[in-house]
Chains A and B, each alone.
Chain A
Amino acid sequence: MSTETASTTHEDRGFLDRLLASPFLSDLLSNRLAILGLSLILLITLMGVLTRLAVFVGVLDFGTILDTQFAQPRKHPPCGNPTITGWLGSVGSCQHPFGTDAQRRDVFLRTMYGAWLALKYGTVTVAASTVLGVGLGTLAAYYGGWLDNVVMRTMDVLLSFPSLLLALAVVAIFGTGLWKAVIALTLVYTPRFARVVRGAALKVLEDEYVDATVALGARDWRVIVRHVLPNSLAPITVQSTLNFGLAVIDLAALSFLGFGATAGTPSWGWMLTKGVENGLINGLWWMSFFPGLFLALTVLGFNLLGDGMRDALDPRMQDAVD
């Protein structure tokens, strides 16, 4: 790790200028996999936001998404054709492109709305653990000493637990429900952010420029806000991106095990569970196939982009073999 990159960061240049001038962005944009990931994320975001907007302005009846009141369940295959090949032939020209579920709700609309929920709960989880992690990480890096050691080593212990099992332990304490699952996962992810932020912050603090600022009498929080945070932004973003995928998949997993979303919620995890229960094996594949497909695509999108960002940040991995 050379210190040259860190010492070129002066505050008279705006953050955006620095970002555009850095090789990070061009490296990232030349990475086809990362672009693919970004496109997937944009697509899913568009899906979720548009559906939510449609419900909000009343174009779409929320009842058709949420309603559980239909008395007689009549499962409808996509476009009236129960086989996968048959579906491929007739998609686009029918009323229920993804079929209907056991309550005769349209799986397509529910899946679209599920995108909104995945993004909403994923964002809250990642944002909360980012804030907590940034707080703990900068605190540890800035003050050092025994505080640093105690905070970071505790984070290490938490990191060594398998994430799903740790989340289950937290759920056992706090109880079940989507928001409780968000709390559980926030606690599970915080250590990763704390670790990344501390590393980045230490690198900034080693920089002589910060020493000079401190000598001039700048306050602790000023140094942190003006120098440490802007320069740790890139690793934090990478971590957030990778964790977004994890958050989406883990929230769905908790729902699948019965500790997250509850009846009626059109979240992907819950739809998947219900779809499997209601007869995937009897050939009613569409109820769980579509929510799961979009779940997987979302996670893949975030993983592809996150991976690309990490490579762009750490270019030595690319020229490893010369």
Chain B
Amino acid sequence: MLAVRGVAKAFGPTKALSDASLAVRSGEVVALLGENGSGKSTLVKVLSGVVRPDAGELVLDGRPVRPGSPRDTLRAGIVTVYQEILVAPDLTVLDNLWLGSAAFTERSERARRRARAREVLDVLSPDPIALDGPVSALDLMQQQVCVIAQALLRDPRLLVLDEATSTLDVTLRDRLMAEVRRRCDEGAAALFISHRMDEVLAHADRFVALRGGVTVGELPRSGADAETLVRLVSGEEATAQRRSTRRGGHGLQRTVLEVSQLRIQPSSEPLDGIVRAGEIIGLAGLEGHGQDEFLQCLAGLRRPAAGEVVLRTGPHGAGTTVRNYRQAVRAGMAYVPRNRKTEGIAGVLSNLDNFTAPTLRRDARLGLLGRARRAARYRRFAEFVNLTAPPGKAVVHLSGGNQQKVIVSRWLAREPSVLLLNDPTRGVDLRTKQELYGVLERLADQGTTIVMLSTEVEELIGLMDRVLVFHGGSCAAVLDRSEATRERLVSAYFGHGSGATGSEEVR
């Protein structure tokens, strides 16, 4: 019914998709699997018309589809439920359900619109949802039901569910999947993306895996189990990895960071742990499973639901409980945020200005800035991170890698004892990545504690002393350097902390 062939899409220098192909037959539920950054969500965006592909073709029911906008693909019969809950909060439930469809403005259709909306909502949700209240008065789960109902009301030929069930409870999920199955039996089809392995196994007829923007394989339902799927997603070939040459033995070093009974959300499992000076800790997990929130708790940017974070950076291991960001910074913490453009840099300023912004005081004597002092300090750190761009250049004109170097060196200039990084190698070219790894290792050797969120399996395996894998808002697995293999990591991503190999310690 739907055939996708050789779709490619690049965002700037990053290739999100290079050769993605997919076929979905009428009556079928296909699961699309892949790690973070494998191109899943880009492929969904291509199918839904949000993103225009650079190459490749889409054929629906024998006719080529040229998606220019969601409007086009919706008219063609491809209806997508997105990962985010996209509703117009100020409109009523009824208006949201019919928004953008052809019947939206027909006044004569009014009664039919109400009846159909009622019908679909009742199929999905056992609790009635009022049609005339604003969507903003509903809770997240009900809003998600509205989004799904909107999709079902369009009678899709192909229904694309991108993590659409994440906020639904078990009852609603079962109702939805039963409805999807019913529609498929009537000749529609569904493409299904989920981070829950059990769900994927229970509902899909076929599995297609993406890796690095390429379709790497598929499996029929028969013969597929969690283990084979993980292998399909992660790839069996042992990639030639860069293994850290550092000695891991920091066992005698003092404790720098202590986490006790920390819960990110009220529902998450409590986490205890210590991090010593000179350790590099990786935080991993599929997008949105709690690793980001955990890092923000460490930085004092977010309050945990319970428990505390203590920075033992004072003399003789005196501790500071992290209450807010300012105080954490004063205690020797530095945080490199994820989104360079919005959180990290002041684009129009030169990279010298960007570098000095948080540490300006160190260049001042009697409140006056010393230009030479500033330049000397900049040179020292630029050398350390191997930044060659001229100091006077506006940061926006630098490459992503160089921007990242400016930001990292800026925080290094504070000489932190704990450095937190939120996915620092995202959108950075390969060479700079390697350079950054080198910088981090040298820092760790000098005794800096590094906690780094990463979405790249390679660097989690190659760089970290330990990796904490998050699933469903809790730390689901802790892998030591010796245990961290690609397969185990991916398996832990999908909540199979002990399933695939059965030897990790799961907290």
To the question of whether A and B form a pair in one complex, the answer is: no
Residues of B within 8 A of A (CB): none
Residues of A within 8 A of B (CB): none
